[in-house]
C-alpha cells in the first residue's frame, strides 16, 4: 500500500508553520493484522487551529469517550477487595476480563450519585451522566440537561467533521442528550457507521479531496434553511425557540462539515481507511457487533473525524438474553435468587466488552504512545446493585491518559461517600476545558476527584 507523502497544508497547519519532513515507520496492522507502511508525520504538525499545542504540551488532541452498560453490577463481586496503585490491588471476579488492561484503568468505587432515586435506572443514568435528575414525566425518560459527552462536544466538537458520534450494540434510544427531549440517536449498524464515517465524504490522508460543485449548492440551500428557522423563531413559544435553536445548530454544523469536505485531509499517521465491515445480517452476536463498532470508532478518532463519542453497549432496563442465560439481563437482576450466578456470568461477559473497547483504543499507535494515551474514557452503568436500583457505591471505570491528565492502574475507594459528579468534572477538565462546576442540587460539585488526577 503506497501513500502520497507529505500531504498538502491542511487546517491542522496554521499559515506560517513549516512542515518538517516526515519519517517513515512500519506499524503493525491495525484492523487486518497486516503490516502496512505509513508515514508518521512530525509531532509539530499536530497543532490545533489556533496554532498552539494541546493541553499540557500534549502533541495530540484529547478525546473523550463513554462506554455504558445497563443494569448495574453485583457490587460484592465487582468492587476490588484491595485499593491502591499498581500491584497494591487486584481485580475482582467480575473485573477479571480486564487483566490485560489493568495498568490502563482506574476503578473508582464508594462514590454516590446524588439525585433522588425516583425513576428506577433513569435516575442513575441521568444523575451520573448529566448531574441532574431526569424529568419525571410518564415514560419519557428524558434527561433534564446535556450528558457529559455533549458538554464536552460543545467545547471541542467543532474542530472535527462530526461533532460527536453515538453508537451502541443494543442501545435503545441512547443516552446522549443535548437537553430535554433532544437526544442524539445511536447508530447500531457497523456497516451504516462505516458508510457515514468512511464512505463518501471521507478523504484518507494523502488523498485528493473531491471537488464537487454540488457541495457549494448544498451549502446555499442550508443558508436558506437557516434564514427560515431564524424568521420562525420570533413567532413561536419559548420551548419551541429552544428546539429551533437546536435545529439551527445542527444545520450550521452540517454546513461546516460540507465545507470541510473540500479541504485536504489532516495528515495523520495512524489514520487508515478501514475495511468495510460485514453486513448486519451476518453479525452473529451482540459481542461481535460491539467489537465492530469499537474498531470503527477507534479509527474515526485516529482519523480525527470526531473527538467525542458514546457507546451504549446495552441500555438501562435492557432485557437482552446473554449467551448461556435463561432469562433477559434486567429480569435476572431482579428475579434471580442469591447469589445470582447468571447475573455474575453476564457481568463477566460485559466486562470482556469493556476490555475490548479499551484495547481497541490502545491498539492504535499515535505519536509517541497510543490513541488511548490521548483519550479520557469512562465506562459505567445506571445503577449500582441492579436488584435494588441503588445509587451509592457507584461502579466507575476511568481509562486513558488524557495527555497526562489522568492516573491509571489505580483502585480508588472513597471512604467518605464522595460525590460521583467529581469524576465527571475531572474528566471534563482532562479535556483541557476550564469548567468551574458539574451537576446541580446535591449532585453539584466544583471539585474534581483528586485521587485520579495527575
Partner 1 sequence: MRLSGPAVALLALTLLAGCPQPMPDITPEPPVLRRLTAAQFHNTIGDLLGDDLYIPEGLEPDLRAGGLLEVGASKAALSPRGTENFEQAAYVLAEQAMAEDRRGALVPCTPTGPVDSACAETFVSEFGRRAWRRPLTDDEVQRLTGVADQGASTLGDFYGGLEFALAGLLLAPEFLYRIELGEADPTGAWARRYSDYEMASRLSFLLWNSTPDDELLDAAERGELTQEQGLRVQLERLLTSPRSREGLRAWFADFLQLADLDDLYKETSVFMHMSDTLGASAREETLLTFETLALEEAGDLRDLLTTRRTFINRELAALYDMRAPARDGFAEAALDPDRPRRGLLGQASFLSLHAHPVSSSPTLRGRFLREVLLCQDLPGALADVDTSIPPVSEEARTLRERVQRHLEDPSCGGCHRLMDLPGLGLEHFDGIGRYRASEEGVAIDASGELDGIQFDDASGLASAIHDHPDFIPCAVQTFVRYATGVEERQDQQDGLDWLSDQFALRKHLVAELVEDLVTSPLFRQAGTISEEASP
Binding to partner 1, residues 173-202 (CB under 8 A) = 173, 178-185
Residue 102 vs 389, nearer CB to partner 1: 389
Give yes or no for residue 246 binding partner 1 (CB under 8 A): yes
Out of 5, 154, 251, 348, which residue is the one contacting partner 1 (CB under 8 A)? 251
316: Cα within 13 Å, side-chain hemisphere? 23
Of 398, 417, 409, 416, whose CA–CA distance to 89 is shortest?
409
User: Which residues lie across from 23 on neighbouring strands?
Assistant: 40
Q: Look up cell 457515514; give the residue.
A: 196
137, exposed or middle or buried, with CB in 10 Å at 0-12, 13-18, 19+? exposed
| Structural element, H or E, at residue 98 | none
Give yes or no for residue 77 binding partner 1 (CB under 8 A): no
Question: What is the number of residues in the chain?
Answer: 454
Give yes or no for residue 352 binding partner 1 (CB under 8 A): no
Q: How many residues make contact with partner 1 (CB under 8 A)?
A: 72
Sheet with 63-68: list strands edge to edge: 84-85, 410-413, 105-109, 396-399, 375-380, 63-68, 308-312, 165-167
* DSSP code, position 342: H
Give yes or no for residue 250 binding partner 1 (CB under 8 A): yes
Give yes or no for residue 285 binding partner 1 (CB under 8 A): no
What grid cell was written down for 404? Answer: 497526562
Residue 304 vs 318, nearer CB to partner 1: 318
Out of 105, 126, 144, 405, which residue is the one contacting partner 1 (CB under 8 A)? 144
Residue 123 vs 380, nearer CB to partner 1: 123
Helical ranges in 363-430 per DSSP H: 421-430
Shortest approach of partner 1 to residue 272 CB, angstroms? 24
Give yes or no for residue 345 binding partner 1 (CB under 8 A): no
User: Which residues lie across from 438 on neighbouring strands?
Assistant: 445
Q: Is 328 helix (H, G, I), strand (E, B) or coil?
A: coil
Residue 5 vs 321, nearer CB to partner 1: 321
Binding to partner 1, residues 289-328 (CB under 8 A) = 319-321, 326-328
Residue 1 vs 238, nearer CB to partner 1: 238
Give yes or no for residue 130 binding partner 1 (CB under 8 A): no
Q: Is 178 helix (H, G, I), strand (E, B) or coil?
A: strand
Residue 9 vs 242, nearer CB to partner 1: 242
Distance CA 206, CA 218 (A): 26
Give yes or no for residue 138 binding partner 1 (CB under 8 A): yes
Binding to partner 1, residues 84-123 (CB under 8 A) = 117-120, 123
Give yes or no for residue 256 binding partner 1 (CB under 8 A): no
Of 19-27, 44-52, 245-253, 289-297, the window that binds partner 1 (rule: CB under 8 A) is 245-253
Amino acid at each position: 500500500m503506497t501513500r502520497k507523502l507529505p500531504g498538502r497544508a491542511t487546517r491542522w497547519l496554521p499559515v506560517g508553520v513549516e512542515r518538517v519532513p516526515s519519517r517513515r515507520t512500519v506499524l503493525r496492522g491495525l484492523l487486518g493484522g497486516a503490516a502496512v507502511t505509513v508515514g508518521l508525520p512530525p509531532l509539530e504538525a499536530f497543532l490545533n487551529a489556533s496554532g498552539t499545542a494541546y493541553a499540557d504540551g500534549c502533541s495530540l488532541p484529547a478525546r473523550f469517550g463513554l462506554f455504558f452498560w445497563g443494569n448495574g453490577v453485583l457490587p460484592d463481586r465487582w468492587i476490588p477487595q484491595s485499593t491502591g496503585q499498581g500491584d497494591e490491588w487486584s481485580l475482582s471476579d467480575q473485573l477479571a476480563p480486564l487483566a490485560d488492561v489493568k495498568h490502563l484503568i482506574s476503578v473508582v468505587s464508594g462514590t454516590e450519585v446524588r439525585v433522588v432515586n425516583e425513576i428506577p435506572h433513569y435516575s442513575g443514568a441521568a444523575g451520573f451522566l448529566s448531574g441532574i435528575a431526569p424529568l419525571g414525566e410518564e415514560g419519557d425518560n428524558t434527561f433534564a440537561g446535556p450528558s457529559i459527552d455533549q458538554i464536552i462536544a460543545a467545547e471541542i466538537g467543532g474542530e472535527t467533521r462530526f461533532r460527536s458520534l453515538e453508537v451502541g450494540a443494543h442501545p435503545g434510544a441512547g443516552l446522549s442528550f443535548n437537553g430535554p427531549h433532544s437526544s442524539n440517536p445511536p447508530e447500531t449498524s457497523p456497516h451504516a457507521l462505516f458508510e457515514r464515517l468512511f464512505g463518501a465524504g471521507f478523504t484518507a490522508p494523502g488523498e485528493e479531496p473531491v471537488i464537487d460543485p454540488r457541495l457549494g449548492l448544498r451549502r446555499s440551500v442550508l443558508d436558506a434553511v437557516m434564514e427560515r428557522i431564524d424568521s420562525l423563531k420570533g413567532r413561536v413559544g419559548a420551548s419551541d425557540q429552544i428546539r429551533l435553536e437546536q435545529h439551527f445548530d445542527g444545520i450550521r454544523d452540517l454546513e461546516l462539515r460540507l465545507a470541510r469536505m473540500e479541504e485536504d485531509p489532516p495528515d495523520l499517521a495512524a489514520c487508515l481507511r478501514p475495511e468495510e465491515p460485514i453486513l448486519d445480517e451476518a453479525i452473529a452476536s451482540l459481542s461481535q457487533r460491539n467489537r465492530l463498532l469499537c474498531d470503527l470508532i477507534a479509527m474515526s478518532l485516529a482519523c480525527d473525524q470526531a473527538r467525542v463519542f458514546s457507546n451504549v453497549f446495552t441500555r438501562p432496563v435492557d432485557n437482552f438474553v446473554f449467551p448461556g442465560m435463561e432469562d433477559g439481563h434486567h429480569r435476572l437482576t431482579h428475579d434471580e435468587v442469591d447469589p445470582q450466578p447468571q447475573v455474575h456470568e453476564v457481568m463477566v461477559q460485559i466486562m470482556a466488552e469493556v476490555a475490548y473497547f479499551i484495547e481497541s483504543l490502545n491498539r492504535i499507535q499515535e505519536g509517541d504512545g497510543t490513541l488511548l494515551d490521548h483519550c479520557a474514557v469512562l465506562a459505567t452503568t445506571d445503577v449500582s446493585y441492579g436488584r435494588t436500583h441503588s445509587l451509592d457505591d457507584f461502579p466507575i471505570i476511568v481509562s486513558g491518559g488524557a495527555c497526562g491528565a489522568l492516573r491509571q492502574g489505580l483502585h480508588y475507594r472513597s471512604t467518605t461517600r464522595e460525590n460521583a459528579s467529581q469524576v465527571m468534572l475531572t474528566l471534563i477538565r482532562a479535556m483541557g476545558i476550564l469548567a468551574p462546576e458539574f451537576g446541580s442540587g446535591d449532585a453539584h460539585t466544583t471539585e474534581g476527584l483528586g485521587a485520579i488526577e495527575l
